[in-house]
Amino acid sequence: MGAYTMITESNRCKPRVVVVGLASCFGCQLQITNDEPHLTELLDQIDLEYWQLVSSDDMPELYDVAIVEGSVTTRQNEELLKRVREKAAHVMAIGSCAVTGGVTGMASDNLDERIDHVYGASLPKSCGEAIAPRPVSDVIAVDSVVRCCPIDSRDFVTQLQRVLFGSNRGQSQRTLCADCKRNETECFYNQGKLCMGLVTRSGCGARCVNLGRECMGCAGLSEAANLKAARLACSAYGIPVEAFDATLRVFNQVELDVHSAQADACEGQEARR
């Protein structure tokens, strides 16, 4: 995997871009189309070689940037991603499904039972060989991400332009509350309502809170998240910890599974000492 070659005066050919969809509702791909003025500007800067949502043409053999929406739910998805990684200089994961496993990640718990419930005894062949849903970064290295469910169209354009023209801007690791406080909206906890901003990664500008809705955590867990303290805060405001844990799993099931597997492994090591 190499860094993408920036466009210069002596290297003016347009980067070839493909958009690939895995297990998803296609909502993030739709969001790409929702910012027409910026999209047309962007289309001028790239050669869009493949977009599953708008064309049934086959994927080309050569491309520079691969944009991937959706989570990995089959062995076939895994193989496709590995082929994509071999060819693309830059892989960008877009949307919660691709970045954290998202809502599809909830099926990683009791997968067989869930498949039975929906499909009965046998999964149709056309579904492929099902595996527990995982984010793209669980299978291949990912170079950049656009978070949330769905993605924000403007964020997508900004992020892709950073990839094309270069940027050393890092992504925030703060929790959403840090952004939300600056907006001077009243905290939902004062109204006895659960809000996942306590543990969610900032970056969306507290989009939902600004619209009067509690954060559901679609940007994924912040590296600064303190789950223990957040549970204590819920209790202090009369919100059941079970409600916090259930909502936390809507977008973060896969990451929480990884955390608990790591915690189990650490406990096992401690016990053996």
Q: Which residues bind ligand SF4 (CB under 6 A)?
A: 24-25, 27-28, 69-70, 95-97, 102-103, 148-150, 176-177, 180-181, 187-189, 195, 197-198, 200, 204, 206-209, 215-219
Q: Which of residues 64 and 152 has its CB atom nearest to ligand SF4 in the complex?
A: 152
Is residue 100 a contact partner of residue 255, using CB atoms and an 8 Å limit? yes
Q: What are phi and psi of 63, to 5 degrees?
A: -160, 165
Q: b/e map of 19-56 (b: 16 or more CB within 10 Å)?
A: bbbbbbbeebbebbeebeebeeebeeebebbbbbeeee
Q: b/e map of 170-203 (b: 16 or more CB within 10 Å)?
A: eebeebbbebbeeeeeeebbeeeebbbbbbbbbb
Smallest separation, CB 270 to ligand SF4 (Å): 34
Smallest separation, CB 33 to ligand SF4 (Å): 13
Residue 131 burial by Cβ neighbours in a 10 Å radius (0-12, 13-18, 19+): middle
CA–CA gap between residue 243 and residue 112 (Å, rounded) = 25
Q: What are phi and psi of 243, to 5 degrees?
A: -70, -40
Q: Which of residues 62 and 236 has its CB atom nearest to ligand SF4 in the complex?
A: 236
Smallest separation, CB 84 to ligand SF4 (Å): 17
Smallest separation, CB 191 to ligand SF4 (Å): 9
Q: Which of residues 15 and 95 has its CB atom nearest to ligand SF4 in the complex?
A: 95
Q: Which of residues 64 and 73 has its CB atom nearest to ligand SF4 in the complex?
A: 73
Q: Which of residues 27 and 128 has its CB atom nearest to ligand SF4 in the complex?
A: 27
CA–CA gap between residue 233 and residue 228 (Å, rounded) = 9
Q: Which of residues 154 and 181 has its CB atom nearest to ligand SF4 in the complex?
A: 181
Is residue 62 a contact partner of residue 116, using CB atoms and an 8 Å limit? no
